[in-house]
Chain A
Amino acid sequence: MKTLKRHLLAALLALCPAFALAQAPVLADTLQDRAAKALFWGDWDELERLHGAARLDTRRSEEGVLPACLFARGIGRKYDDDSLAYHEARVAGTREWTQRRPDSALAHAVHLEMLVDLAWFHRGSGFANTVSDQRFADFRAKLDEALAYAKANGAVMTQHSFYTRPLLALMRGLGVGLDKQLEIARHGLRKEPGDECVYLRLVDSLVPKWGGHPQQLEAWVRESMKGLSDTDALARYARLYDWAGSVDFHQGFFDASLVRWPLLRDGLRQLIKESPKGRYWKNRLAYYACMAQDRDAATPALEAIEAGPSFDAWGRDGQRNYQACRRWALQS
């Protein structure tokens, strides 16, 4: 029912060009930055406003990302120079927010995310043999605190699907099995059917880095495509696999996963069609075409981005990957 309402609203907005024109650049193009800034400056009311707007407006950004996912990315923004004081300030600030707005699902979910982030700050991102016993103890203690918080506030928090993000991160930290994580994601999807952000979030857990198996990832991608039109299903396939490729597989993507290049290629082309002004998907098509050694696809894809390649979309050592790809494509 809620989804129907959102689609109806989106349709109404589309029928009202003046309103759509006034709103579009404000929300989609700046949402991620605005959410990140609001969190940074402790502007909880602004976060509530932005989250409300992101739930209502389903029009994608220029790069084809849903506002709800952009909002979550803003909340998850990381800074190189962060510190314990910074993480503790985020925890303390969001705790006050939950006290001011105890009925706010977003407040509780963001607070949970801050608790989980604090735990991970204690641990750090290095291999286990680089982490001291004390830091591991702090990590576990903070995760336990986060788990207790999630249990105590689950009823309020789960009103919107945003909670799936911190909760899945918490489960990964606690080493909870994938079945339980699938259950959490599906619970979120029952609340908000078709929420693409939830499908993307579970991908993080399904890659080998976090103990996932390629078949589980494949099954999840297929599940996400059910009920969609052919073109939407292709686009979904490309989005999810692209995410998996960027968080874990990198250059081993086609060997280590069950991704199928023809489907990925067609899905990327569909995404380019849907977001003609975007640069990311055009670059990704060329990137994967080279990786799949499909010269027929790579050559036009490289030509399409020749004026200004986005090296960020070319994986680690993006510029070198791009140059190597270009040399290879021009060889024949």
Chain B
Amino acid sequence: MRWKAMAGAGLTAVLMTAQAGAADKPPTQPVGKATPAAEPAQPASGRRLSEHLRDVVAKEFKRFVAPHFAVTADGPLDAELRAAAEAMRDEHLPRVRVLMERWFGEELGEEPLRDAVTRLQARVANEFALWGRDSTGPAYDAALAQALQTPGLCNPGVKHDISELVRRLNYLRDLPPDVRRQAVQAERELLARWGQPRQVSDAEALPAEDLLLQLRASDQAPQKAVVPALAFYYLGDVDDRRRDPLRADGPARCAMHQWAGASAAQFRAALALQAPEFVIGQDRRQAAALNDDGYPRAASYFAVKGSVTVQAEVNANGRLVRAKVIKRALKVPGIREARPFTLEGAMDVATLARAKETDWLVSAPAQGTRTVEREFLWNPR
């Protein structure tokens, strides 16, 4: 388990320092609700983190957070949007740093202590996912819906690997000036919500990947034009050169869901950042792959537990015709008072893979197909 080993390397230092600090500090308690981000960084105990522990946070921050807010001159944004992005980055990064120090303080009060860094990573990753799904309201949704009608929305420009912040602002570039200004302001407000309890959309993403695979299987020209990039990656003539849509990167996923006709909320759900790609650089397919112990890699790393319920259409032979996830009840250490959106993508893929391998004969109808629901449990051994 390379990831665990990696986490373990940093962990030793964390443990030692945390224990050293614990001798002269009262034990920390988890905080029920996040407090405003402007407050100084301190754990729930009211004590500041030691310099060494702050360094641990700084390292996590530098590795996982700052790159998602990188703004460079060679990116796709025009001068006005770039200036807005730089201002947002400058305003937001110190806020996240403060939040992370507070969250880490909370995690140091939880057991097992050795997983405190992983729990912090999960929490930060979920904050990214919440940000991805959040909306300031109908006007912002309407602006994104309008942007989704723009061809080329997902063009990342020359520098393919653009940051999350740039990606979001890039969607707004061709909106009418007044709509664009309001949408940019909304983006700023959404960032200011980090760390605060909030209700975000629980919309399900469209099954754009499946729709693309169906199109590929049909071998017909699409009713609605796909952008050349999607055709190039996923609809090619040669089987072993076609890519797996579940492994799509941000721009391709964006194009897929725009093509599928996603609403603003569905689009945000599809593009919300997922912890495995965020922390361990793995797409959903890789993250859902099983370890030797039969547990998905991402679930192992983040110690995910719970269940995922699948609605399955089964034919008379007991074979699965199609399946979709309809319910999730997952717990992820470190993610508090929020749905763990950031790990649902990988768990969905892993669960649907299990569903595909399941013998559905007991649910098979005498003829035709039958729709059944089944809960799949995920508990580490």
Could you list which residues of chain A lie within 8 angstroms of chain B, going by C-beta atoms?
Answer: 30, 33-34, 37-46, 79, 81-86, 88-90, 92-93, 95-97, 100
Whether B155 lies near A38 (C-beta < 8 A) is: yes
Whether A83 lies near B152 (C-beta < 8 A) is: no
Give the contacting residue for B227; candidates A84, A89, A100; CB below 8 A. Answer: A89
Known: A86-B236, A88-B221, A96-B151. A41 touches B228 (CB 8 A): yes
Lowest 9 CB-CB distances: which A-B pairs, in order?
A: A43-B152, A89-B231, A41-B155, A85-B235, A42-B227, A92-B225, A43-B155, A83-B236, A83-B237
Contacts of B241 in A (CB 8 A): 81
Whether A85 lies near B237 (C-beta < 8 A) is: yes
Within the assembled complex, what's the spacing in Å between the Cα atoms of A88 and B251? 20
B158 contacts A by Cβ under 8 Å? yes
Within the assembled complex, what's the spacing in Å between the Cα atoms of A81 and B236? 8
Q: How many residues of B contact A (CB 8 A)?
A: 28
Whether A34 lies near B228 (C-beta < 8 A) is: no
Number of A-B contacts (CB under 8 A): 95
Q: Which residue of A lies closest to B234 (CB)?
A: A85
Within the assembled complex, what's the spacing in Å between the Cα atoms of A189 and B255? 39
B232 contacts A by Cβ under 8 Å? yes
Whether A41 lies near B251 (C-beta < 8 A) is: yes
Within the assembled complex, what's the spacing in Å between the Cα atoms of A227 and B155? 42
CB distance from B249 to the nearest CB of A (A): 13
Q: Which residue of B lies closest to A114 (CB)?
A: B228
Whether B158 lies near A33 (C-beta < 8 A) is: yes
Contacts of B225 in A (CB 8 A): 42, 89, 92-93, 95-96
A to B CB contacts below 8 Å, 27 in the list: A30-B74, A39-B228, A40-B155, A40-B227, A41-B152, A41-B227, A41-B229, A41-B255, A43-B152, A43-B155, A44-B151, A45-B150, A46-B152, A79-B232, A81-B241, A82-B232, A83-B236, A85-B236, A85-B237, A86-B236, A89-B228, A89-B230, A89-B232, A92-B221, A92-B226, A93-B225, A96-B225
Q: Which of A84, A85, A100 has the most CB of B within 10 A?
A: A85
Contacts of B296 in A (CB 8 A): none
Whether B158 lies near A42 (C-beta < 8 A) is: no
Contact indicator per residue, chain B 156-178, by CB within 8 Å of chain A (1) or not (0): 11100000000000000010000
Within the assembled complex, what's the spacing in Å between the Cα atoms of A89 and B234? 12
Contacts of A45 in B (CB 8 A): 150-152, 174
Contacts of B151 in A (CB 8 A): 42-45, 93, 96-97, 100
CB distance from A167 to the nearest CB of B (A): 22
Within the assembled complex, what's the spacing in Å between the Cα atoms of A123 and B158? 31
Whether A81 lies near B227 (C-beta < 8 A) is: no
CB distance from A81 to the nearest CB of B (A): 5
Known: A45-B151, A83-B238. A37 touches B156 (CB 8 A): yes
Give the contacting residue for B232; candidates A46, A81, A95; CB below 8 A. Answer: A81
CB distance from A32 to the nearest CB of B (A): 9
CB distance from B373 to the nearest CB of A (A): 36
CB distance from B152 to the nearest CB of A (A): 2
Whether B227 lies near A46 (C-beta < 8 A) is: no
Give the contacting residue for A83; candidates B158, B221, B232; CB below 8 A. Answer: B232
Contacts of B150 in A (CB 8 A): 45
Contact indicator per residue, chain B 245-264, by CB within 8 Å of chain A (1) or not (0): 00000010001000000000
Contacts of B227 in A (CB 8 A): 40-42, 89, 93
CB distance from A83 to the nearest CB of B (A): 4
Q: Which residue of B lies closest to A35 (CB)?
A: B158
B125 contacts A by Cβ under 8 Å? no
Contacts of A88 in B (CB 8 A): 221, 231
Contact indicator per residue, chain B 331-353, by CB within 8 Å of chain A (1) or not (0): 00000000000000000000000
